[in-house]
Amino acid sequence: MKKLIITIFTAVSMVLCLSGCSSAEQTTSIQSVSVEDIPAYTNSPYVVINENVPDFDLSKKQDSYQIYSDLDDLGRTLDAEACLSKDMMPTEERNSISSIHPSGWHSIQDDSIPGGSLYNRCHLIAYQLTGVNDERNLITGTRYLNVEGMLPFEEMVADYIRETDNHVLYRVTPYYEGDNLVASGVFMEAYSLEDKGDGICFHVYCYNVMPSVKIDYKTGDAVIENSNTDTQTQKDYILNIKSKKIHLPECNGVQTMSDKNKKEVHASIDELQQEGYSICSNCIH
């Protein structure tokens, strides 16, 4: 496997820049480093890459398209790229994908894991963007990668396209270490065309991890560690009433949460879970 060379943003802050980037910024020269220099996971679901500037060729005419690479010799899903548009978005509910088993797939379930299952069949390009359930668009990804890492970016892009009817260049690339069957994470890039990145512009790496779980990326096996979380004592929490997540007040997710979705409560996790909420695995372990 060829060594993947990327560029990485080393600032302490990992908050997504929503101001966009200009075409001039696209050509800025940034020092390249190897993929091994991506910071180890430290409780944030993603890290910003290349000062948040994606690496698309903007010199070519861009019409709507989607490209999915063939599986490699190990049966692993590779990159997926698209020029997204409103007419590509599905109008029907997603069909079952339970018969698809991406490389490294295991059905691992435990009550201590939010949602109950360690792994999801993660779409590289979200179903809500193209409606594609092909095996070339699915990887074995943790629920944490799927919900905490990728979903916020996917929803941002989907909302932008629905509101503007503009096009967005979009690419997701899994990174596998050596011959591992499970990706260590995925690179996500996006750039809105009509407004030259003012609406959407990001380049991030999302970690394929799950707090309190030790994953064998070679095979997909995993060991679930015992949780020390007290779920019965009433404490102060911040709820996101839109995503139905329970956060600690000091969680980074609270700082970026919209006020209209924020609710302060004094309750136990058990009580909140009975109301349909689940814990934020980024701050509650």
Q: Which of 107-116, 137-146, 274-283 has the highest mean pLDDT?
A: 137-146
* Six token digits for residue 60: 């070519």
DSSP 3-state percent helix, strand, coil across the chain (nearest 5): 20, 25, 55
Residue 205 has pLDDT above 90, yes or no: yes
Residue 185: beta bridge partners?
A: 175, 207
Rounded CA-CA distance 39/49 in Å is: 11
Q: Estimate to the nearest angstrom the gap between the alpha carbon of 263 and the chain centroid.
A: 25
Cβ neighbours, 10 Å, residue 28: 12
Q: Which of 190, 177, 34 is nearest to 125 (CA)?
A: 190
Give me 81's structure tokens.
């790229």
How far apart CA 125 and CA 95 sit, in angstroms, is 16
Between CA 199 and CA 197 the distance in angstroms is 5
Is residue 9 within 8 A of residue 47, CB to CB? The reply is yes
Question: Each residue of 142-195: pLDDT tens digit?
Answer: 999 999 999 999 999 999 999 999 999 999 999 999 999 999 999 999 999 999
Write down the pLDDT at residue 38: 86
Q: Which of 34, 85, 23 is nearest to 57 (CA)?
A: 23
All residues at 6 or more sequence positions from 137 whose CB lies less than 8 Å from its CB, including other chains: 68, 77, 80, 123, 124, 125
Supply the pLDDT for residue 141.
98
Q: How far apart are CA 49 and CA 38, in angstroms?
A: 9
* All domains in the chain, ordered by first residue: 5-224 (3.40.570.10), 235-279 (no CATH)
Query: Does the structure show a pLDDT above 70 at 52?
Result: yes
In this prediction, residues 206-229 reach a mean pLDDT of 88
Element (H, E) at 156: helix 151-164
Burial of 79 (0-12, 13-18, 19+ CB in 10 A): middle
Amino acid at 265: V
What is the residue-averaged pLDDT of the chain? 85
Rounded alpha-carbon distances, angstroms, from residue 272 to 147, 188, 241, 265, 268: 19, 32, 11, 9, 6
pLDDT of residue 227: 58
Model pLDDT, residue 203: 96
Tokens, residue 175: 């990174």
Q: How far apart are CA 116 and CA 108, in angstroms?
A: 9
| Token pair recorded at residue 257 | 């949460």
Residue with tokens 């005419």: 61
Cα–Cα distance list, 217 to 142, 145, 153 (Å): 11, 14, 24
Question: Residue 119, SS3?
Answer: strand
Handedness of CA 231, 117, 215, 16 (dihedral sign): negative
The band of 36, judged by pLDDT with boundaries at 50, 70 and 90, is low
